[in-house]
Structure 1
Amino acid sequence: MVSSSTKSSPIVSSLDLGWESLIVEEFQQPLGSGEIFAEKEHTIALCLATKPHRIWQAVDDRSYVGVYTKGDISITPAELPSSYRAYGNDHYLQIRIPPQFLKQVATEAINSDPDRLELKTEFCDRNSQIEQLAMMLRAELYQGSNGVGKLYIESLANALTVNLLRDYSGTKPQVAIYKGGLSDLQLLQVTDYINDHLTQSIKLKDLAEFLGISQFHFSRLFKKSTGISPHQYVIQQRIELAKQLLKKADISIANIALECGFNSHAHLGKYFRQMTGMTPREYRQNR
C-alpha cells in the first residue's frame, strides 16, 4: 500500500462528485502489482487491508520494505518520482491534495510562507487524526450525491491539510489559535447569509470570505459560537425550511427537496428522518 497514480480503475472515486479541494479514491491491487509514477498532487495513502502484507516503496532517493497493516499511512510529496510493489493483496484509500490548496491552507490557517513549507516523505506511519479524517471522507465517498455535501467535504479537507502540514512539514508550523467564537455581529451576518442561500450550494470558502477569515478558523469559530459545525447548521436550517413548505399541500415533496437545497426526495428524506424521526410524508400528514 502506497500512494500511487494507479493505472487500474478505482473502486470508487470523488472525481464525479465535484469535490474541489482534493481527490479521494479507493483501490484494490492484486498480489505482485506495481507502479512507477509521479503525482502532481501531494498524496496520502491509508491502508484498508484487513490482512497485513509486505510492500516495497521508493520515493525519490528513499526506499522502504516492510509490512503494512490496516490504519498505516504513507505520505508522498507532489512531483517526486515514486515506485511501488505489493507482496500481498493491497487495499487502500488514496487522497490527493493539489499543491495550490495546500499553499492556500498554509497561508490562511497557519500564517506561514507557503514557499518555505516542504512536506516530508513518510512510510508506514500512524496518525490517528489523519486516519479519522480520511475515513470520514471515505464514508462520504460511498454516500455519493446523497452525502452531507460540499460544505462538509471542504471542512474535512481543510482539517486534513492542516494536520498534514503540522505533522509532516519540515518546518513544523504552528497552527494559530483563536480564543472565543465569532462576534455577535459576525454570527448574525453569516447565519443571515446562510438562510438567504439555502436553495443554493453553500461553500465553506464563500462563508469564510464573507467574514474575511480563513476556512479552517471559520469552521472552528462557528462551532464555538453555535455548538454545531457549519454543515450541521446548514442541514438544520434546510430541514426547518422543509417543515414550513410541507405545510403547503400544493407543493410536491420532490419540489420541496429542491427548494431546500437537497438533491432529491430521497436526499431530503434521509436527513429529515434523522432530525425529526419521521419521513417528510409522515410529517405532512401529522400537520
Structure 2
Amino acid sequence: MGDPILRAPLQDPQPRPSEADPDKLRRADVEMARVLKTVPLQMASDPSNGSIAHWKHGALHDVVEPMTDHVIMTYPTGVQRLERRTGTSVAIGTARSGVVTIIPAGSQARWDIPGIVDVIQLYLPHTTLARVAREANAPAPGDLLERTGQPDPITSGLLMSAADVLDGNAALDALFRQQLTDILATRILAGHTGAPTTFVPIMGGLSPHALRRAIERLHSDSDADVSLAALASEAGLSRFHFCRAFKDSTGLSPHAWLRQHRLEQAMNMLRDTDASMVSIASALGYASQTAFAAAFRKLTGETPSDWRRRMR
C-alpha cells in the first residue's frame, strides 16, 4: 500500500490536545500496554524527557484513549495495514520501514490492525517540544498532526537508532537518548505540526573554558555530571545549542565523545592490567560483562578477550 489515505471529511472532531481534560489523560506506556495486551521487548525512560519502547504485538481492534504525551512510532520490520478512525474520518496507511505514525497527546481514535506489528514508540512530552522550540528561538509549537504511515525516513531512522543503541551503560545510554530526543523534537516541529518550524543554526563552538569544563564532566564517574542538562548548564547554553557547539569544537556529539573515551579506558585496562572482564565492565559503568563485551565488539569488531590477547 502506498502513502496514507484520508477518507471522508472530519465532521466530529476530537478535542484539541490543549483542550483535553488532564484528569482523563493516561500515561502513554500504560495505555499502550492495555491496548497491545503485552509488554515491551525493551523500554528506557527519562521522566523529564520522554520514553522509548520497542513492542511486538498482534492484531489490534480497540480505541486508544487520550494520553499525556505525543506518541511517535516507526516500524523496523514487516508490512501491515493500519486503519485509524476519528469520528467519521478514516485514515488508512501501511506500517513499513521508513514511515512514521503520530498520535497527538490528548487525541482519541479507534485502531484496526489485522496482524503482527513490530513497532518502536517514542513517548514525547509536549513540554519537551516547547523547550526545544524555545531554545532554538522558534515559535511555540502548536498541536501535532495525526499521521498514519506517513513517509519520513529521517525521523524513522532516528527512532530506530534510539531503540538500537542501548549498550547497558547507564550514563552512555541516557546521554544518547537525551540527545536523540532533542533531535527528534526538531524533526517533529519541522515536519509534523500545523505550522512547520524553521531552525536557523547558530555557528561557532564552545569557548576554551567551556570545552575544558565539559570534558572534565564527561571524565566524571557520576551519571549526574554527564547528563545533557548538567553539561549544557555548566556551559551556560541550552541543550539544543550545547550539542551543536560541542560537536563544532570536537567533531563528535557528547555521546560519541563519551563512548570513545570509555572505549579508550577499556583498552588501557585490557592492555595494561590483569583486571577481569567483570571488574572492567563494572568500573566503566556497564550493567554486566555481557553488555560490556557486546558494546566493545560493536565498536572494534573484536571481543575484549580477543583484543587483549592480540595486544599482549
TM-score (norm 1): 0.81
Residue 170 to residue 66, structure 1, CA distance change in 2 (3 Å): closer
User: What is the distance in 1 between the residues matched to 2:275 and 2:158?
Assistant: 39
Report the 3-state secondary structure (helix = DSSP H, G, I; strand = E; otherwise coil) of the residue aligned with 2:63: strand
Correspondence list, 1:158-177, <5 A: 158-177=182-201
User: What is the distance in 1 between the residues matched to 2:288 and 2:279?
Assistant: 8
User: What is the distance in 2 between the residues matched to 1:40 and 1:154?
Assistant: 19
| 1:224 corresponds to which of 221, 228, 248 | 248
C-alpha displacement at 1:245, in angstroms?
4.1
Structure 2 letter corresponding to 1:145: G
Residue 105 to residue 252, structure 1, CA distance change in 2 (3 Å): same
User: What is the distance in 1 between the residues matched to 2:99 and 2:205?
Assistant: 35
1:73–1:126 Cα contact (<8 Å) kept: yes
Please state if 1:93 is matched with 2:116.
no
* Identical amino acids, percent of aligned pairs: 23
User: What is the distance in 2 between the residues matched to 1:242 and 1:119?
Assistant: 44
1:28-82, Cα deviation, whole Å (9 max, x unpaired)? 44346323311111111224452342x32134x5732424140332222111122
Structure 1 letter corresponding to 2:32: S
Structure 1 stretches of 5 or more lacking a match?
A: none
Please state if 1:268 is matched with 2:292.
yes
Structure 2 residue aligned with 1:44: 72
User: What is the distance in 2 between the residues matched to 1:117 and 1:139?
Assistant: 30
1:102-154, Cα deviation, whole Å (9 max, x unpaired)? 2222222x22453x5322222331112111111112213xx463685111111
Correspondence list, 1:172-251, <5 A: 172-195=196-219, 197-198=220-221, 200=223, 202-246=226-270, 249=273, 251=275
Structure 1 residue aligned with 2:161: 136
Residue 280 to residue 26, structure 1, CA distance change in 2 (3 Å): closer
Report the 3-state secondary structure (helix = DSSP H, G, I; strand = E; otherwise coil) of the residue aligned with 1:118: coil
Equivalent residues, number: 277
Structure 1 residue aligned with 2:23: none
Residue 207 to residue 10, structure 1, CA distance change in 2 (3 Å): same
C-alpha displacement at 1:160, in angstroms?
0.6
1:164-222, Cα deviation, whole Å (9 max, x unpaired)? 01111223222231113223332222112212x14545212211111121223222222
User: What is the distance in 2 between the residues matched to 1:250 and 1:45?
Assistant: 45
Structure 2 stretches of 5 or more lacking a match?
A: 5-27
Moved more, 232-241 or 127-136: 232-241
1:206-263, Cα deviation, whole Å (9 max, x unpaired)? 1111112122322222222212221121122223333444466475442333223333
| 1:256 corresponds to which of 260, 272, 280 | 280
Moved more, 94-103 or 129-138: 94-103
Please state if 1:27 is matched with 2:51.
no
Structure 1 residue aligned with 2:19: none
Structure 1 residue aligned with 2:38: 9
